[in-house]
Structure 1
Amino acid sequence: MDGCLHCVFTWQKACSIFHTQGWKHLRRSFSTEKVIHKDHSLPNPSWSKDLRLLFDQFMKKCEDGSWKHLPSSECKVPQRIHSFKTYFLDSKPVKEDQLSQARPFTRSYEVGQGFEYAMFYNEDEKRTVCLFQGGPYLEGPPGFLHGGALATMIDTTLGVCTISCMGLFMTANLNINFKSPIPLCSVVVISSQLDKVEGRKVFVSCNVRSVDEKTLHSDATGLFIKLDPEKSLT
Protein backbone atom coordinates (compact mmCIF):
# COMPACT_ATOMS: atom_id res chain seq x y z
CA MET A 1 0.00 0.00 0.00
CA ASP A 2 2.97 2.37 0.11
CA GLY A 3 4.21 2.34 -3.47
CA CYS A 4 3.12 5.86 -4.37
CA LEU A 5 3.20 7.39 -0.88
CA HIS A 6 5.21 10.58 -1.42
CA CYS A 7 3.50 11.17 -4.73
CA VAL A 8 0.08 10.96 -3.05
CA PHE A 9 0.82 13.49 -0.34
CA THR A 10 2.44 15.98 -2.66
CA TRP A 11 -0.52 15.71 -5.03
CA GLN A 12 -3.37 15.87 -2.49
CA LYS A 13 -3.29 19.63 -2.37
CA ALA A 14 -2.17 19.94 -5.97
CA CYS A 15 -5.16 18.11 -7.40
CA SER A 16 -7.84 20.20 -5.69
CA ILE A 17 -6.22 23.45 -6.80
CA PHE A 18 -5.35 22.14 -10.26
CA HIS A 19 -8.89 21.05 -11.10
CA THR A 20 -10.44 24.32 -9.95
CA GLN A 21 -7.85 26.99 -10.70
CA GLY A 22 -4.98 25.62 -12.77
CA TRP A 23 -1.21 25.39 -12.28
CA LYS A 24 -0.59 29.12 -11.82
CA HIS A 25 -2.77 29.15 -8.71
CA LEU A 26 -1.20 25.91 -7.55
CA ARG A 27 2.29 27.41 -7.61
CA ARG A 28 1.03 30.57 -5.92
CA SER A 29 -0.59 28.54 -3.14
CA PHE A 30 2.59 26.62 -2.46
CA SER A 31 4.65 29.78 -2.51
CA THR A 32 2.62 31.18 0.40
CA GLU A 33 4.05 28.34 2.51
CA LYS A 34 7.55 29.78 1.96
CA VAL A 35 8.78 26.70 0.12
CA ILE A 36 11.39 27.09 -2.60
CA HIS A 37 10.42 24.97 -5.58
CA LYS A 38 12.86 23.75 -8.17
CA ASP A 39 11.14 21.93 -10.99
CA HIS A 40 13.20 18.78 -11.55
CA SER A 41 11.15 17.79 -14.59
CA LEU A 42 12.87 20.40 -16.75
CA PRO A 43 15.91 19.71 -18.98
CA ASN A 44 19.30 19.60 -17.31
CA PRO A 45 22.82 18.72 -18.59
CA SER A 46 22.34 15.04 -17.74
CA TRP A 47 19.43 14.63 -20.14
CA SER A 48 20.22 12.71 -23.31
CA LYS A 49 19.37 13.97 -26.77
CA ASP A 50 16.42 11.55 -26.93
CA LEU A 51 14.94 12.81 -23.66
CA ARG A 52 15.29 16.45 -24.67
CA LEU A 53 13.71 15.78 -28.05
CA LEU A 54 10.72 13.98 -26.54
CA PHE A 55 10.32 16.71 -23.93
CA ASP A 56 10.25 19.39 -26.64
CA GLN A 57 7.69 17.39 -28.63
CA PHE A 58 5.33 17.15 -25.67
CA MET A 59 5.82 20.77 -24.71
CA LYS A 60 4.70 21.56 -28.25
CA LYS A 61 1.55 19.52 -27.62
CA CYS A 62 0.90 21.63 -24.52
CA GLU A 63 0.53 24.78 -26.58
CA ASP A 64 -3.09 24.04 -27.54
CA GLY A 65 -4.02 22.97 -24.01
CA SER A 66 -4.64 19.31 -24.83
CA TRP A 67 -1.64 18.24 -22.74
CA LYS A 68 -0.21 19.72 -19.54
CA HIS A 69 3.34 19.48 -18.24
CA LEU A 70 3.31 18.33 -14.61
CA PRO A 71 6.00 20.00 -12.46
CA SER A 72 7.97 17.82 -10.05
CA SER A 73 10.09 18.88 -7.10
CA GLU A 74 11.73 17.53 -3.96
CA CYS A 75 10.10 20.18 -1.77
CA LYS A 76 8.86 19.48 1.73
CA VAL A 77 5.37 21.01 1.77
CA PRO A 78 3.83 21.35 5.26
CA GLN A 79 0.46 20.32 3.82
CA ARG A 80 1.95 16.98 2.79
CA ILE A 81 3.21 16.35 6.33
CA HIS A 82 -0.21 17.19 7.82
CA SER A 83 -1.92 14.86 5.34
CA PHE A 84 0.50 12.11 6.26
CA LYS A 85 -0.45 12.42 9.91
CA THR A 86 -4.16 12.63 9.16
CA TYR A 87 -4.34 9.40 7.20
CA PHE A 88 -1.61 7.19 8.60
CA LEU A 89 -0.02 8.27 11.84
CA ASP A 90 -2.86 8.45 14.37
CA SER A 91 -1.42 5.52 16.31
CA LYS A 92 2.17 5.60 14.99
CA PRO A 93 3.71 9.00 15.74
CA VAL A 94 6.82 9.94 13.80
CA LYS A 95 9.28 12.58 14.90
CA GLU A 96 8.95 15.97 13.25
CA ASP A 97 12.62 16.06 12.30
CA GLN A 98 12.24 12.74 10.47
CA LEU A 99 9.33 14.04 8.42
CA SER A 100 11.07 17.34 7.72
CA GLN A 101 13.94 15.46 6.10
CA ALA A 102 11.67 13.35 3.89
CA ARG A 103 11.67 13.77 0.13
CA PRO A 104 10.14 11.83 -2.77
CA PHE A 105 12.18 8.69 -3.45
CA THR A 106 12.43 9.41 -7.16
CA ARG A 107 13.94 12.85 -6.46
CA SER A 108 16.46 11.75 -3.82
CA TYR A 109 19.41 11.09 -6.14
CA GLU A 110 21.97 13.52 -7.47
CA VAL A 111 21.09 15.00 -10.85
CA GLY A 112 21.82 12.51 -13.60
CA GLN A 113 22.55 9.57 -11.28
CA GLY A 114 19.06 8.22 -10.62
CA PHE A 115 15.58 8.98 -11.86
CA GLU A 116 15.39 11.61 -14.59
CA TYR A 117 11.86 12.08 -15.87
CA ALA A 118 9.12 14.45 -16.97
CA MET A 119 5.38 13.81 -17.00
CA PHE A 120 2.55 15.11 -19.15
CA TYR A 121 -1.18 14.73 -18.59
CA ASN A 122 -4.11 14.74 -21.03
CA GLU A 123 -7.33 15.39 -19.12
CA ASP A 124 -9.72 14.58 -21.98
CA GLU A 125 -8.10 11.22 -22.66
CA LYS A 126 -7.36 10.47 -18.97
CA ARG A 127 -3.78 9.66 -19.91
CA THR A 128 -0.38 10.37 -18.40
CA VAL A 129 2.92 9.97 -20.24
CA CYS A 130 6.24 9.73 -18.42
CA LEU A 131 9.51 10.30 -20.27
CA PHE A 132 12.08 8.39 -18.20
CA GLN A 133 15.85 8.08 -18.24
CA GLY A 134 17.41 5.76 -15.64
CA GLY A 135 20.83 6.86 -14.40
CA PRO A 136 23.91 4.75 -13.49
CA TYR A 137 22.90 4.37 -9.82
CA LEU A 138 19.84 2.36 -10.92
CA GLU A 139 21.76 -0.58 -12.36
CA GLY A 140 20.48 -4.12 -11.94
CA PRO A 141 22.06 -6.66 -14.29
CA PRO A 142 25.35 -5.24 -15.61
CA GLY A 143 24.53 -2.49 -18.09
CA PHE A 144 20.77 -2.64 -17.57
CA LEU A 145 18.16 -0.88 -15.45
CA HIS A 146 17.12 -2.57 -12.21
CA GLY A 147 13.61 -4.03 -12.37
CA GLY A 148 12.73 -2.35 -9.08
CA ALA A 149 13.65 1.05 -10.49
CA LEU A 150 11.31 0.48 -13.41
CA ALA A 151 8.59 -0.72 -11.03
CA THR A 152 9.01 2.51 -9.06
CA MET A 153 8.47 4.62 -12.16
CA ILE A 154 5.50 2.51 -13.28
CA ASP A 155 3.88 2.91 -9.86
CA THR A 156 4.61 6.64 -9.86
CA THR A 157 3.20 7.13 -13.35
CA LEU A 158 0.05 5.12 -12.65
CA GLY A 159 -0.37 6.97 -9.36
CA VAL A 160 -0.06 10.39 -10.97
CA CYS A 161 -2.52 9.34 -13.66
CA THR A 162 -5.03 8.20 -11.02
CA ILE A 163 -4.63 11.23 -8.79
CA SER A 164 -4.79 13.66 -11.71
CA CYS A 165 -8.06 12.10 -12.84
CA MET A 166 -9.74 11.24 -9.55
CA GLY A 167 -8.10 12.87 -6.54
CA LEU A 168 -6.41 11.33 -3.48
CA PHE A 169 -5.77 7.60 -3.99
CA MET A 170 -3.24 5.00 -2.95
CA THR A 171 -1.76 1.92 -4.61
CA ALA A 172 -3.52 -1.32 -3.61
CA ASN A 173 -2.19 -3.70 -6.25
CA LEU A 174 0.41 -3.56 -9.01
CA ASN A 175 1.03 -6.27 -11.63
CA ILE A 176 4.04 -5.89 -13.92
CA ASN A 177 5.18 -8.00 -16.85
CA PHE A 178 8.87 -7.50 -17.63
CA LYS A 179 9.39 -8.32 -21.29
CA SER A 180 12.70 -6.81 -22.39
CA PRO A 181 15.60 -5.33 -20.36
CA ILE A 182 16.22 -1.59 -20.57
CA PRO A 183 19.80 -0.46 -21.26
CA LEU A 184 21.10 1.75 -18.47
CA CYS A 185 20.88 5.51 -19.17
CA SER A 186 18.57 4.97 -22.15
CA VAL A 187 15.16 6.64 -22.50
CA VAL A 188 11.77 4.94 -22.39
CA VAL A 189 8.20 6.21 -22.63
CA ILE A 190 5.71 5.07 -19.97
CA SER A 191 2.17 5.59 -21.30
CA SER A 192 -0.64 5.15 -18.77
CA GLN A 193 -4.40 5.47 -18.89
CA LEU A 194 -7.42 5.22 -16.63
CA ASP A 195 -9.42 2.11 -17.60
CA LYS A 196 -12.43 2.01 -15.29
CA VAL A 197 -13.83 3.14 -11.94
CA GLU A 198 -15.82 0.97 -9.54
CA GLY A 199 -16.81 2.89 -6.43
CA ARG A 200 -13.60 3.67 -4.55
CA LYS A 201 -11.59 1.43 -6.89
CA VAL A 202 -9.76 2.82 -9.91
CA PHE A 203 -8.15 0.54 -12.48
CA VAL A 204 -5.26 1.85 -14.57
CA SER A 205 -2.77 0.35 -17.00
CA CYS A 206 0.42 1.27 -18.82
CA ASN A 207 3.09 0.11 -21.22
CA VAL A 208 6.79 0.93 -21.37
CA ARG A 209 8.31 1.31 -24.81
CA SER A 210 11.57 2.39 -26.38
CA VAL A 211 11.84 5.83 -27.94
CA ASP A 212 11.26 4.41 -31.43
CA GLU A 213 8.26 2.41 -30.08
CA LYS A 214 9.65 -0.81 -31.60
CA THR A 215 10.47 -2.48 -28.28
CA LEU A 216 7.91 -3.22 -25.57
CA HIS A 217 9.93 -3.35 -22.38
CA SER A 218 7.06 -3.87 -19.97
CA ASP A 219 3.34 -3.57 -19.40
CA ALA A 220 1.43 -3.28 -16.15
CA THR A 221 -1.94 -2.87 -14.48
CA GLY A 222 -2.71 -1.20 -11.20
CA LEU A 223 -5.55 -0.93 -8.71
CA PHE A 224 -5.83 2.25 -6.66
CA ILE A 225 -8.20 2.86 -3.73
CA LYS A 226 -9.69 6.22 -2.84
CA LEU A 227 -8.69 7.26 0.65
CA ASP A 228 -11.46 7.82 3.15
CA PRO A 229 -10.54 10.41 5.83
CA GLU A 230 -13.10 8.83 8.18
CA LYS A 231 -11.19 5.52 8.22
CA SER A 232 -7.71 4.88 9.55
CA LEU A 233 -5.29 2.72 7.57
CA THR A 234 -3.09 2.00 10.60
Structure 2
Amino acid sequence: MNRRPDREFPTHDAAKRLIATSRVAYFLRKVDGVVCARAWFGWAAQGPPGHAHGGSIATVLDETMGVAVLHSGYVAVLASLTVQYREKVPLGTDTVVKAEVCRTERRKIYTRAVMRCHEDGRLFAEAEGLYVMQNLEQLCEMKDLPASLQKPAET
Protein backbone atom coordinates (compact mmCIF):
# COMPACT_ATOMS: atom_id res chain seq x y z
CA MET A 1 0.00 0.00 0.00
CA ASN A 2 1.41 3.39 -1.02
CA ARG A 3 0.46 5.98 1.51
CA ARG A 4 1.61 9.56 1.83
CA PRO A 5 2.99 10.57 5.21
CA ASP A 6 0.69 12.57 7.47
CA ARG A 7 3.20 15.39 7.50
CA GLU A 8 6.30 16.23 5.55
CA PHE A 9 9.55 15.21 7.18
CA PRO A 10 11.60 18.34 7.91
CA THR A 11 14.97 18.58 6.18
CA HIS A 12 17.75 19.58 8.52
CA ASP A 13 19.40 22.88 7.57
CA ALA A 14 22.86 21.36 8.02
CA ALA A 15 22.15 18.77 5.32
CA LYS A 16 21.30 21.58 2.91
CA ARG A 17 24.68 23.16 3.61
CA LEU A 18 26.58 19.89 3.09
CA ILE A 19 27.32 19.62 6.80
CA ALA A 20 29.68 22.60 6.64
CA THR A 21 31.98 23.53 9.49
CA SER A 22 32.52 27.14 10.31
CA ARG A 23 36.32 27.25 10.58
CA VAL A 24 39.17 24.79 10.01
CA ALA A 25 42.92 25.48 9.77
CA TYR A 26 45.66 22.89 9.12
CA PHE A 27 49.22 22.86 10.47
CA LEU A 28 52.24 20.59 10.11
CA ARG A 29 54.17 19.67 13.25
CA LYS A 30 57.71 19.55 11.82
CA VAL A 31 59.16 17.62 14.77
CA ASP A 32 57.30 14.40 13.92
CA GLY A 33 55.37 15.13 10.71
CA VAL A 34 51.98 14.91 12.41
CA VAL A 35 49.30 17.03 10.72
CA CYS A 36 47.19 19.06 13.13
CA ALA A 37 43.97 20.96 12.57
CA ARG A 38 42.04 23.46 14.62
CA ALA A 39 38.32 23.18 13.99
CA TRP A 40 35.43 25.22 15.30
CA PHE A 41 31.89 24.08 14.54
CA GLY A 42 29.25 26.76 14.06
CA TRP A 43 25.47 26.62 13.69
CA ALA A 44 25.64 25.32 10.10
CA ALA A 45 27.29 22.15 11.45
CA GLN A 46 24.58 21.48 14.05
CA GLY A 47 23.26 17.95 14.45
CA PRO A 48 21.82 17.24 17.90
CA PRO A 49 20.59 20.53 19.42
CA GLY A 50 23.61 22.62 20.39
CA HIS A 51 26.15 20.06 19.16
CA ALA A 52 28.12 19.32 15.99
CA HIS A 53 26.70 16.83 13.48
CA GLY A 54 28.62 13.55 13.27
CA GLY A 55 29.06 14.08 9.53
CA SER A 56 30.82 17.39 10.18
CA ILE A 57 33.14 15.72 12.65
CA ALA A 58 33.85 12.85 10.23
CA THR A 59 34.55 15.34 7.44
CA VAL A 60 37.19 17.17 9.49
CA LEU A 61 38.79 13.86 10.53
CA ASP A 62 38.85 12.67 6.89
CA GLU A 63 40.26 15.95 5.59
CA THR A 64 42.99 16.03 8.25
CA MET A 65 44.02 12.44 7.51
CA GLY A 66 43.95 13.28 3.80
CA VAL A 67 46.34 16.18 4.39
CA ALA A 68 48.64 13.79 6.31
CA VAL A 69 48.57 11.39 3.33
CA LEU A 70 49.35 14.20 0.88
CA HIS A 71 52.14 15.57 3.10
CA SER A 72 53.68 12.09 3.18
CA GLY A 73 54.05 12.30 -0.59
CA TYR A 74 51.12 10.14 -1.66
CA VAL A 75 48.18 10.95 -3.91
CA ALA A 76 45.27 8.82 -2.71
CA VAL A 77 41.53 8.63 -2.21
CA LEU A 78 39.63 7.46 0.84
CA ALA A 79 38.35 3.88 0.63
CA SER A 80 37.20 3.35 4.22
CA LEU A 81 36.59 5.60 7.21
CA THR A 82 35.76 4.36 10.71
CA VAL A 83 34.85 6.92 13.36
CA GLN A 84 34.34 6.28 17.05
CA TYR A 85 32.40 9.15 18.63
CA ARG A 86 33.41 9.42 22.29
CA GLU A 87 31.62 12.59 23.39
CA LYS A 88 29.31 15.15 21.76
CA VAL A 89 31.05 18.31 20.50
CA PRO A 90 29.24 21.45 21.70
CA LEU A 91 28.87 24.12 19.01
CA GLY A 92 31.46 26.87 19.40
CA THR A 93 34.05 24.56 20.97
CA ASP A 94 37.64 24.87 19.73
CA THR A 95 38.90 21.41 18.83
CA VAL A 96 42.32 20.07 17.89
CA VAL A 97 42.73 17.18 15.45
CA LYS A 98 45.98 15.24 15.07
CA ALA A 99 46.40 12.88 12.12
CA GLU A 100 49.19 10.66 10.90
CA VAL A 101 50.02 7.95 8.41
CA CYS A 102 50.51 4.77 10.45
CA ARG A 103 51.75 2.43 7.73
CA THR A 104 51.62 1.61 4.04
CA GLU A 105 51.04 -1.73 2.36
CA ARG A 106 51.49 -1.76 -1.41
CA ARG A 107 48.83 0.76 -2.59
CA LYS A 108 47.10 0.99 0.81
CA ILE A 109 47.78 3.80 3.26
CA TYR A 110 46.54 3.39 6.84
CA THR A 111 45.89 6.54 8.85
CA ARG A 112 44.70 7.52 12.31
CA ALA A 113 43.28 10.74 13.75
CA VAL A 114 41.97 12.00 17.08
CA MET A 115 39.83 15.04 17.87
CA ARG A 116 40.11 16.62 21.30
CA CYS A 117 38.85 19.71 23.08
CA HIS A 118 41.52 22.40 22.77
CA GLU A 119 40.77 23.75 26.25
CA ASP A 120 40.79 20.63 28.43
CA GLY A 121 41.90 17.74 26.19
CA ARG A 122 38.62 15.79 26.35
CA LEU A 123 38.47 13.13 23.65
CA PHE A 124 35.61 13.79 21.22
CA ALA A 125 36.33 11.31 18.41
CA GLU A 126 38.88 8.89 16.98
CA ALA A 127 39.14 7.75 13.37
CA GLU A 128 40.96 5.24 11.22
CA GLY A 129 41.17 5.68 7.48
CA LEU A 130 42.25 3.51 4.60
CA TYR A 131 43.39 5.45 1.54
CA VAL A 132 44.28 3.92 -1.82
CA MET A 133 47.09 5.40 -3.90
CA GLN A 134 46.13 6.76 -7.32
CA ASN A 135 48.27 7.10 -10.42
CA LEU A 136 48.21 10.06 -12.79
CA GLU A 137 45.90 8.32 -15.27
CA GLN A 138 43.33 7.65 -12.55
CA LEU A 139 43.52 11.26 -11.41
CA CYS A 140 43.10 12.59 -14.94
CA GLU A 141 39.80 10.73 -15.21
CA MET A 142 38.43 12.85 -12.36
CA LYS A 143 36.67 16.11 -13.15
CA ASP A 144 38.01 19.48 -12.01
CA LEU A 145 41.55 18.23 -11.47
CA PRO A 146 43.83 21.06 -10.29
CA ALA A 147 46.11 22.39 -13.05
CA SER A 148 49.20 21.31 -11.09
CA LEU A 149 48.13 17.66 -11.42
CA GLN A 150 46.90 17.70 -15.02
CA LYS A 151 48.83 15.99 -17.80
CA PRO A 152 50.66 18.42 -20.05
CA ALA A 153 48.99 18.90 -23.42
CA GLU A 154 50.52 16.81 -26.20
CA THR A 155 52.15 18.83 -28.99
TM-based fold match above 0.5: yes
Which residue matches 2:33?
126
Structure 1 or 2: larger strand share?
2
Deviations 1:120-147 (A, max 9, x none): 0135523100000011111001000011
TM-score (norm 1): 0.49
Specify the code of the residue in structure 2 equivalent to 1:222. Answer: G
Which residue matches 2:76?
169
* 1:199 Cα deviation from its structure 2 partner: 1.5
CA distance in 2, matches of 1:205, 1:161: 10
Aligned-pair identity in percent equals 24
Specify the code of the residue in structure 1 equivalent to 2:97. Answer: I
Cα RMSD after superposing both structures: 2.2
97, 112, 117: which one aligns with 1:210: 117
8 Å Cα contact 2:94-2:119 kept in structure 1: no
Specify the code of the residue in structure 1 equivalent to 2:63. Answer: T
CA distance in 1, matches of 2:72, 2:33: 6
Which residue matches 2:103?
196
8 Å Cα contact 1:126-1:194 kept in structure 2: no
Which residue matches 1:80?
none
8 Å Cα contact 2:39-2:96 kept in structure 1: yes
CA distance in 2, matches of 1:123, 1:133: 23
Matches within 5 A, 1:58-77: none
8 Å Cα contact 1:123-1:165 kept in structure 2: no
CA distance in 2, matches of 1:231, 1:137: 34
8 Å Cα contact 2:75-2:135 kept in structure 1: no
8 Å Cα contact 1:190-1:206 kept in structure 2: yes
* 1:161 Cα deviation from its structure 2 partner: 0.7
8 Å Cα contact 1:120-1:129 kept in structure 2: yes
* Structure 1 runs not aligned, ≥5 long: 1-107
48, 56, 79: which one aligns with 1:149: 56
Residue 140 to residue 228, structure 1, CA distance change in 2 (3 Å): same
SS at match of 1:166: coil
TM-score (norm 2): 0.72
CA distance in 1, matches of 2:40, 2:73: 27
* Structure 2 runs not aligned, ≥5 long: 1-16, 143-155
Residue 200 to residue 173, structure 1, CA distance change in 2 (3 Å): same
How many residue pairs are counted as aligned between the two chains? 124
Structure 1 or 2: larger helix share?
1
8 Å Cα contact 1:131-1:188 kept in structure 2: yes
